[in-house]
Amino acid sequence: MPSRFTIAVPSDYLLRRDYCSYGYFLLAPNHWEPETLALTRVLGLEGGAVTVRVTQPGDKAGSPLRVEGDRQLSAGERGQASAHLGRMLRLDEGYEQIRAFHAVDPRWRRGRGRGGGGATSGRGRMMRSPTLFEDVIKTVTSCNVTWPSTVTMNRRLCEVFGARSASGGWAFPTAQRLSRARPQTLRSQCSVGYRDGRIVELARLFTLAPARGGIDEAWLADPVTPDEAVRESLLELPGIGPYAAANIMQLLGRYSRLPLDSESLRHGRTVLGYTGNERQVMKRLHEHYAPFGAHAFRSYWLELWAHYERKNGPAWTWRQEKTAKAFVAALMKEKAPGKRAEKTAERTVERTAEKRAEKA
C-alpha cells in the first residue's frame, strides 16, 4: 500500500527553482518531470528501497512538500525519508541564512518569497544528494570527463549496484555495496574507466569507523570544524584533488571555496570578458568572487546557472533525456555550432543510447 506524508519547508522555498539548481538534479537516480513539477527518485531506507514522488501543491513558495511513496513506510522510515529529502533540498538552510547571503550579494534578492519582514526571493539553496557518499561519488564521476559520460556513469552505477524499488526504479548504490564491488566490474559495466579502484576505495573509507581510518562525516559537517581542515582532509582521499575538494565543500554547506574548472574559465572569458592565459583568468575569477567571502560559491554558481538558463530556458523546464545533448561541449560554446557539428552530436548521443540499450 502506498504511503503519503508532508514536509514543512522554509517560507521562501520553491521546489521547482531550488531543486533544479545544480547539475546533479539531472543525474540518476534523480528524475524531474517538467510537466508535473515533480521530483521522483528511489531512496534507500532501512526497510528497503522506495520510490518517492515529491511535489509542492500550488507551486507556491513556502507550501509544504507532498511526498508519496510506492509502498507502505513505517514511522521510522518516514523520518528517514524526510531526513534524506531535507538534506537533498537543503531545507536546513533557513530564511535567515539566505538573507545573510543576499546581504553580501544583493543581485539574487529580487523576487518575493513568503518570508517575513523584508522578504527575499529565497535564491541560494543548491540541491545536493541525500547522502555525502552519493555527493562524493557524483563529484568523482564528474571529473576529467564530459557531461554525457557523467550521466552514463551514474545511471549504470544505479542499474548495476543499486537496490530496486517496488515500482522498478534503482537506488544509488550504498557504500557497503560499492566497497565489495570488483573494480573490473565497475569499469566494464559502468564505464567509470580509471576511476574504478578509487571509487571502491572511497566506498571502503565510508564504511569504516573514523577511529579505524574511515571518513568522519559528523566532523566534516560540523560548523565548528575549520574550512581549511576539511579541505586538507578531503584532499587526502583517493580521486579528490583541488576542484573535487572545493565542490564537496559546497555540498557540505561550506561556500567559501571555489571549485574552478574548465567551465569556470569559459565563464570568465566569455561572460565576464577576462583575457589572458589560464592562470591569469583563474586569478581574476578568485578576485571577482572574493568580496562574497563565506558565500563565494553561491555567487559564482548562481552567475553560472543564470548563464545556462539564459541559453536553455529555466532549469525546471529542462528534459533529462535531452540534457546530455544540450550539454555536449560544442553546443554550449558561445559561437553556435555548424549544422554538421550539431547533427554529429545528435547522432553520437543516439548511437551511444542504442549501444547502452543493447548492452542492458
Which parts of this chain interact with DNA (CB under 7 A)?
143-146, 148-149, 152, 187, 191-194, 198, 235, 237-245, 261-263, 266, 324, 328-331, 337-338, 340-341, 344-345, 348-349, 351-352
Question: How many other CB atoms sit within 10 Å of the CB of residue 354?
Answer: 10
Quickly list DSSP for 98-144: HHHHHHH-GGG--S--S-SSS----TTPPP--SSHHHHHHHHHTTTT
Decide the pairing of beta strands 31-33 and 38-45: antiparallel
Nearer to DNA, 50 or 178 (CB): 178
Question: How many other CB atoms sit within 10 Å of the CB of residue 218?
Answer: 8
State the minimum distance, in angstroms, from the CB of residue 106 to DNA: 29
Question: How many other CB atoms sit within 10 Å of the CB of residue 164?
Answer: 15
State the minimum distance, in angstroms, from the CB of residue 18 to DNA: 25
Nearer to DNA, 91 or 237 (CB): 237
Question: Quick one: how far is CA 301 from the chain centroid?
Answer: 12
Nearer to DNA, 145 or 220 (CB): 145
Nearer to DNA, 136 or 302 (CB): 136
Nearer to DNA, 95 or 300 (CB): 300
First and final CA of the chain: distance in angstroms?
30
Q: In what order do the strands lie in the sheet with 48-55?
A: 3-7, 65-69, 48-55, 38-45, 31-33
Q: Which three cell numbers stand for residue 132?
A: 555525502
Nearer to DNA, 43 or 248 (CB): 248
State the minimum distance, in angstroms, from the CB of residue 82 to DNA: 32
State the minimum distance, in angstroms, from the CB of residue 77 to DNA: 35
State the minimum distance, in angstroms, from the CB of residue 65 to DNA: 33
Q: Helix, strand, coil % (nearest 5) of the chain? A: 55, 10, 35
State the minimum distance, in angstroms, from the CB of residue 143 to DNA: 4
